[in-house]
Amino acid sequence: MYFKRHIRLRALAPLMAALMAFQSCRHSTQPESVEADNLQGSISISGAFALYPMAVEWTNAFSALHPAVRIDLSSGGAGKGMTDVLNGMVDFAMLSREPHDEERDKGAIDFSVAKDAVLPVFSASNPLYEKIMAHGITADDARKIWITAEITTWGQLIGTHDDTPIHVYTRSDACGAAQTFAAWFDAVQEDLGGTAVYGDPGISKAVIDDPLGIGYNNMAYAYDSETLNMQTGLEVLPLDIDGNRSVTDEEKLYTTRSTIAKAIEEGRFPAPPSRNLYLVTNGVPADTAAFEFLKFVITDGQAFNEPNGYVRISNASARESMRKLNVGHKGRGLKRDNTQLMTLIAGLVVVLLFLTAGVQLFMRSHIKRRVYRQKLSETMMVILSFSSIAMLIALLWGLWGKAAPMFDKSTLGELLTGTEWKPSQGLFGFRPFIHGTLAVTMLSICFSLPLSLLTAVFITEYAPKYLKSIVNPALDILASLPSVVFGVWGVLTLIPKFGYSLLTASLVLGVMVLPIMVSLFCEIFATVPTDMRDSSFALGATRWQTTRKVVIRKSLPGIFAAVVLALSKCIGETIAVMMVCGCVPRLRGSWLDPFYTLPALIGNNYGEMASIPLYESAIMFAALLLLLLVLLFNILSRVMLYRIEKNS
Amino acid sequence: MTHIRIRQIEEKVMRGVMLVATLIVLGAVISILGTILIRGCKALSWDMVSKFPGKEWNTAPDGGFLNAILGSLYVVIPAAVIGACISIPVVFYITMYKRRRTGVSYIIRLAFDVLYGIPPIVYGAFAFLVMVGVGMRASVLGGIMVTVLLIVPMMIRSGDEIAKTVPDEMVDAVYSLGATKWETVWVVLKHILPGMLTAFLLAVGRAIGDAAAVMFTAGFSDQPAHSLSDPTATLPLAVFNWIIMPDPFPGRAYAAALVLTILVLTLSIASRVITRRITRLNK
């Protein structure tokens, strides 16, 4: 009896303590008074990379004025912010493109807060540096590079016969920079070709590292944020604004971030690629802290724009924003943050459990108490156990429910075999993604299967003890490493050799599944009876013959099951693949071409869900597809393993 | 004669090939650990693991990523505790209450096996749907929810293996003394608790390194989390975000990767030490 209570209390004590600590902290950040000098509350902002450095300045200045306000700032592409704000998950979205009409219809109000530009960039170590700088680039050139691929060498760009190839980079995540840049030559983001890299900094890094690279960057990332000079190794490709095939003195605007900022302010730089940057809210903020913050950014905060290399908004648009702030429809505030309610519900469940367990205290008869406890515990266990099945059904049902609108417009066959991925035109072809997923899976198994089979045989049949004591811990280490570490390894050691490519991703995945396969194979080989090996030896077979004809043949079903398990692990891997795949949906490509997989699609794009109709359904359909693929593989391997278990 | 000759050569060649294969595997391990160690040690400093991001965080070395380290712990530790509270009873149910081979425990085991195989990103997307549905923001609580989903199948899988070592005779002996099944649980629990601890540590190690699931649900923030409803940075996501950002961020990514690796390896070694001690005791 004592033992029981003791254990139960011990298990719950840290949990309760943690909950209580969290709750008490929470109360201290609740808005209690709203005096201007003692403003409290919390503000959350997410969205575009382009506005992020500026937002950091504003939030720092604002929290110096109002130290009690907590500000959460995260950047993750324009789409993410829009989704969050429309879903009522954050107060402000940082937006670096013009808002869509659908978004305004859903209640989004945009406040122009700064201006900047998206600039084409190339590497300062380009062999043709001087000539490129003198020639510049027109919108038509850019179109031929990113869209039609008519220009594939630097010679074609500057009008010589030099055939150094151009390595084209573009953004993998849905973002304002790509849309603004594409708008410069009347295109949209999904038309842009080239190796896709995640995030603004990703492109500048890729272009700096690749002397033949060309990309495009937000002003804030093309220039160093400390010195306002160009980032070391990066050079802005001057825009040939008048189209005379050479860069005149009036077109040399790019020395520092301040000079280009001045040019934009004075209208000497075309728009696009210069653009407005917005803070978007879901209705005028009802929360005082958020309201004050927005007012601050539009008025006093503008003083921070120029020192940081951004362009101030004009007085007219400041007035317009203030007008919106005063007359715009009031937002309902954030969707009531139900996180606390959820915590409360969880707490209630625990209390209820204790109450039902406490009922026994009122029972006189010892036997009755024991029976009650037995029945209660059994009920709990049944509920928990069957929740697994409920969970599976909920997963399938939930994803299916969200994915179903896809089938209004196209059939299942069209979705699976369609090759065009152009969400803004309503074209959702999943074939390139399925193709990419399966290709990388197969290739990585091709790498790791022979390696792991040989290693496993070596460990179980041949290796001396000291070697085993090296290999086994090494495999254990490999098995416990998180996938993001494999990703870092791929970025640092494989990408410089093979680029963002199928080969890199397959190698990373191959190494990742090695320890799983080796340890499974070793287990399986160990189940082959020693007598069988001995009788094979007795017949004069060599060790290799015994291995090949007895051990491996006997464990064939087990090997099959292990491979299927590794396959399903590869199919679902997200982070490591996202870091090295290049994110280009394509059907035909060599080992060294970038590609795209289903998990990477979900990881990159869940942010854009709100802005394009059906996008959310498409992403959820991808998740459903992935789930079904993995289910199929898993059940296959399970059935195999259970059959083996039954036989042995 | 020649036939035997060929067999001997074949034997030697295969031996060589296997040795090479093993060396390649070892080489891969050394390459990964070496890369992380070298790059990480260069970038790591005491400030990085002991301070929150400062005001100049985005442009200069100012402060550290303690918020991400704490964020990972805030998400994973409660999730692991809740996960243990859910999975231990399930293990008992499918091994003791319904004896191992009944249809019910077969179906439940299959369901958990299938859940185990589902990629974290699918859990992430699903949890994101649910969170939007009930009006939750990206927060520590969201991260905990999705991590529980990840951990429970893992712990049940290993718990199931451990429960196999409980001798049926022992359970029968307890029953024969007139104990109810519930009372038997406490006897068996003593037997499997050390094993479950190992499983617990391994699951924590897996969960702490997973970025795909918390990407949608825990959010990202440069501020330390003060309550369950604040978004928080987590270590793996920090590595993922920072590695592609301009200086000084990649250095931080390498340092964070090193910290994450050390954390995970410590957990894995601890679990192995426990396992070894148990097997020695049981002998």
Interface of A with B in 509-528 (CB under 8 A): 511, 514, 518
CA closest to B229 among chain A residues: A339
pLDDT at B62 over 90: no
pLDDT at A3 over 50: no
Band of residue A173 on the pLDDT scale cut at 50, 70, 90 = low
B202 contacts in chain A (CB < 8 Å)? 480
Does B145 map to a domain? yes
The range of the structural domain enclosing residue B39 comes to 2-43
Is A345 in CB contact (< 8 Å) with chain B?
no
What single DSSP character describes residue A394?
Answer: H
CB pair distance less than 8 Å for B185 and A377: yes
CA closest to A578 among chain B residues: B240
Q: How far apart are CA B88 and CA B71, in angstroms?
A: 26
Question: Looking at CA atoms only, how far is residue B162 from chain A in angstroms?
Answer: 16
- How large a percentage of chain A has pLDDT more than 70? 88
Is A448 in CB contact (< 8 Å) with chain B?
no
A498 contacts A528 by C-beta, under 8 angstroms? no
Fold (topology level) of A115-275: D-Maltodextrin-Binding Protein; domain 2 (3.40.190)
CB pair distance less than 8 Å for A3 and B186: yes
Question: Looking at CA atoms only, how far is residue A335 from chain B in angstroms?
Answer: 6
Phi/psi at A50 (5° precision): -60, -35
- Tell me how crowded residue A355 is: count the other CB atoms within 10 A of its CB: 9
CB pair distance less than 8 Å for A572 and B208: no
- How large a percentage of chain B has pLDDT more than 90? 24
B21 and B119, same domain (yes or no): no
- A543 vs B11, B31, B223: nearest CB: B11
CB pair distance less than 8 Å for B115 and A452: no
Interface of A with B in 604-623 (CB under 8 A): 606, 619-620, 623
Q: How far apart are CA A592 and CA B274, in angstroms?
A: 45
**What phi-psi label fits residue A156: left (phi over 0), alpha (psi between -120 and 50 degrees) or beta?**
alpha
Q: How far apart are CA A625 and CA A631, in angstroms?
A: 10
What single DSSP character describes residue A460?
Answer: I
CB-based contacts of B113: which residues, under 8 Å, 6+ apart?
Answer: A634, A638, B153, B157
CA closest to B57 among chain A residues: A56
Does B53 map to a domain? no
CA closest to A371 among chain B residues: B180
Question: Looking at CA atoms only, how far is residue B279 from chain A in angstroms?
Answer: 17
Phi/psi at A43 (5° precision): -125, 135
B170 and B122, same domain (yes or no): yes
pLDDT at A350 over 70: yes
Instruction: Answer with the residue of higher pLDDT: B116 or A105.
Output: B116
CB pair distance less than 8 Å for B222 and A73: yes
pLDDT digits (tens, 9 = 90+) for B25-42: 999 999 999 999 999 998
Q: How far apart are CA B120 and CA A602, in angstroms?
A: 11
What single DSSP character describes residue A244?
Answer: S
pLDDT digits (tens, 9 = 90+) for A450-482: 999 999 999 988 888 888 888 888 898 898 899
CB pair distance less than 8 Å for A391 and B15: no
pLDDT at A500 over 70: yes
Instruction: Answer with the residue of higher pLDDT: B13 or A87.
Output: B13
What is each CA distance from A96 to A49, A79, A99, A266, A298, in whole angstroms? 8, 10, 9, 20, 16
Tokens of A502: 């199928």
pLDDT at A6 over 50: no
A183 contacts A204 by C-beta, under 8 angstroms? no
Q: How far apart are CA B117 and CA A637, in angstroms?
A: 11
Q: Which of B9, B22, B81 to probe the A interface (max A CBs under 10 A)? A: B22
Cα B7 to the center of its chain, rounded Å: 46
Is A198 in CB contact (< 8 Å) with chain B?
yes
**Residue of A270, A223, A234 whose CA lies nearest to A251:** A270
What is each CA distance from B261 to A485, A488, B268, in whole angstroms? 7, 11, 10
Written as one string, the DSSP assignment of A211-276 is TTEEEEEEHHHHB-TTT-BBPTTEEE--B-TT-SSS--GGG---SBHHHHHHHHHTT-S-TTTEEE
- How large a percentage of chain B has pLDDT more than 70? 95
Residue A71 bridge partners (DSSP): A43
pLDDT at B130 over 50: yes
A284 contacts A324 by C-beta, under 8 angstroms? yes
What is each CA distance from A103 to A95, A98, A112, in whole angstroms? 12, 10, 16
Mean pLDDT of A541-546: 86
Q: How far apart are CA B152 and CA B147, in angstroms?
A: 9
Interface of A with B in 402-431 (CB under 8 A): 402
3-state DSSP call for residue B97?
Answer: helix
- β-pairing verdict for A167-171 and A213-218: parallel
The whole-number pLDDT of residue A113 equals 85
Tokens of B131: 């969170």
Does B158 map to a domain? yes
Is A390 in CB contact (< 8 Å) with chain B?
no
Q: How far apart are CA A218 and CA A240, in angstroms?
A: 18
pLDDT digits (tens, 9 = 90+) for A176-196: 778 888 888 888 777 788 887
Does B49 map to a domain? no
Question: Looking at CA atoms only, how far is residue B124 from chain A in angstroms?
Answer: 9
Is A221 in CB contact (< 8 Å) with chain B?
yes
Is A494 in CB contact (< 8 Å) with chain B?
no
B107 and B34, same domain (yes or no): no
Q: Tell me the longest C-alpha to C-alpha distance in chain B.
A: 80
Write b or e for each residue in A15-54: b if 16 or more Cβ atoms lie within 10 A of its Cβ, otherwise e: beeebeebeeebeebeeeeeeeeebbbbbbbbbbbbbbbb
The whole-number pLDDT of residue B258 equals 94
The whole-number pLDDT of residue A21 equals 47
Q: Find out whether the peptide bond into B236 is cis, omega within 30 degrees of 0.
A: no
B151 and B242, same domain (yes or no): yes
CB-based contacts of A529: which residues, under 8 Å, 6+ apart?
Answer: none
Most confident residue range from A590-594, A606-610, A612-616: A590-594
B10 and B141, same domain (yes or no): no
Most confident residue range from A232-236, A334-338, A418-422, B264-268: B264-268
A335 contacts in chain B (CB < 8 Å)? 135
- Mean pLDDT is lowest, of A284-288, A589-593, B143-147, B244-248, for B244-248
Question: Looking at CA atoms only, how far is residue B166 from chain A in angstroms?
Answer: 19
Does B61 map to a domain? no
Report the amino acid identity of residue A636.
L
Band of residue B246 on the pLDDT scale cut at 50, 70, 90 = low
Question: Looking at CA atoms only, how far is residue B172 from chain A in angstroms?
Answer: 17
Band of residue A32 on the pLDDT scale cut at 50, 70, 90 = very low
Question: Mean pLDDT in chain A?
Answer: 80
Residue A447 bridge partners (DSSP): none
Is A634 in CB contact (< 8 Å) with chain B?
yes
B230 and B140, same domain (yes or no): yes
B206 and B253, same domain (yes or no): yes
Q: pTM of the predicted model, to two decimals? A: 0.79
B125 and B35, same domain (yes or no): no
Instruction: Answer with the residue of higher pLDDT: A285 or A509.
Output: A509
* Spans of all domains in chain A: 1-30, 115-275, 339-387, 424-619+629-647
Q: Which of A2, A207, A257, A388 to probe the B interface (max B CBs under 10 A)? A: A388
Q: Which of A45, A397, A472, A574 to probe the B interface (max B CBs under 10 A)? A: A574
B154 and B213, same domain (yes or no): yes
Interface of A with B in 13-72 (CB under 8 A): 14-15, 18-19, 22-23, 25-26, 28-29, 44, 46, 52-53, 56, 60, 70-72
Mean pLDDT of B192-204: 85
Band of residue A60 on the pLDDT scale cut at 50, 70, 90 = confident
Q: What angle do CA A72, A75, A79 make, to 5 degrees?
A: 120
Mean pLDDT of A314-318: 76
B39 and B72, same domain (yes or no): no
Q: How far apart are CA A208 and CA A490, in angstroms?
A: 19
CB-based contacts of B36: which residues, under 8 Å, 6+ apart?
Answer: A485, A488, A489, B254, B257, B258, B261
3-state DSSP call for residue B215?
Answer: helix
CA atoms within 13 A on the CB side of A135: 15
A184 contacts A142 by C-beta, under 8 angstroms? yes
Phi/psi at A31 (5° precision): -65, 125
Kindly report the CATH number assigned to the domain that includes residue B76: 1.10.3720.10
Band of residue A228 on the pLDDT scale cut at 50, 70, 90 = confident
Q: How far apart are CA A582 and CA B21, in angstroms?
A: 29
In a 10 Å sphere around its CB, with 0-12 CB exposed, 13-18 middle and 19+ buried, how is residue A339 labelled?
A: buried
Q: How far apart are CA B151 and CA B220, in angstroms?
A: 21
Q: Which of A575, A577, A601 to probe the B interface (max B CBs under 10 A)? A: A575
Instruction: Answer with the residue of higher pLDDT: A116 or B282.
Output: A116
CB pair distance less than 8 Å for B243 and A488: yes
B38 and B70, same domain (yes or no): no
Written as one string, the DSSP assignment of A602-620 is HHHHGGGGGTSTTHHHHHH
pLDDT at A306 over 80: no
CB pair distance less than 8 Å for A477 and B129: no
Q: Strands (DSSP E) along B110-231, which ranges?
A: none
A578 contacts in chain B (CB < 8 Å)? 240
The whole-number pLDDT of residue A311 equals 80
What single DSSP character describes residue A423?
Answer: G
B184 and B145, same domain (yes or no): yes
CB-based contacts of A326: which residues, under 8 Å, 6+ apart?
Answer: none
Tokens of A440: 């990388």
Contact pairs from chain A to chain B, CB under 8 Å: 345
CA closest to A3 among chain B residues: B186
Q: How far apart are CA A37 and CA A395, in angstroms?
A: 48
The whole-number pLDDT of residue A23 equals 45
CA closest to A21 among chain B residues: B227
In a 10 Å sphere around its CB, with 0-12 CB exposed, 13-18 middle and 19+ buried, how is residue A589 labelled?
A: middle
Question: Looking at CA atoms only, how far is residue B261 from chain A in angstroms?
Answer: 6
CB-based contacts of A578: which residues, under 8 Å, 6+ apart?
Answer: A198, A487, A599, A600, A603, A604, B240
pLDDT digits (tens, 9 = 90+) for A381-435: 888 888 888 988 999 999 998 888 888 877 888 888 888 887 777 788 888 899 8
**Residue of A369, A314, A276 whose CA lies nearest to A4:** A369
Per DSSP, chain B holds a count of helices (H) and strands (E) of 11, 0
Question: Looking at CA atoms only, how far is residue B45 from chain A in angstroms?
Answer: 19
Band of residue A25 on the pLDDT scale cut at 50, 70, 90 = very low
CB pair distance less than 8 Å for B136 and A342: yes
The whole-number pLDDT of residue A331 equals 63
Question: Looking at CA atoms only, how far is residue B169 from chain A in angstroms?
Answer: 21
Fold (topology level) of A424-619+629-647: MetI-like fold (1.10.3720)
Tokens of A281: 């809210």
Tokens of B26: 């070892």
The whole-number pLDDT of residue A359 equals 79
Q: How far apart are CA A293 and CA A281, in angstroms?
A: 12
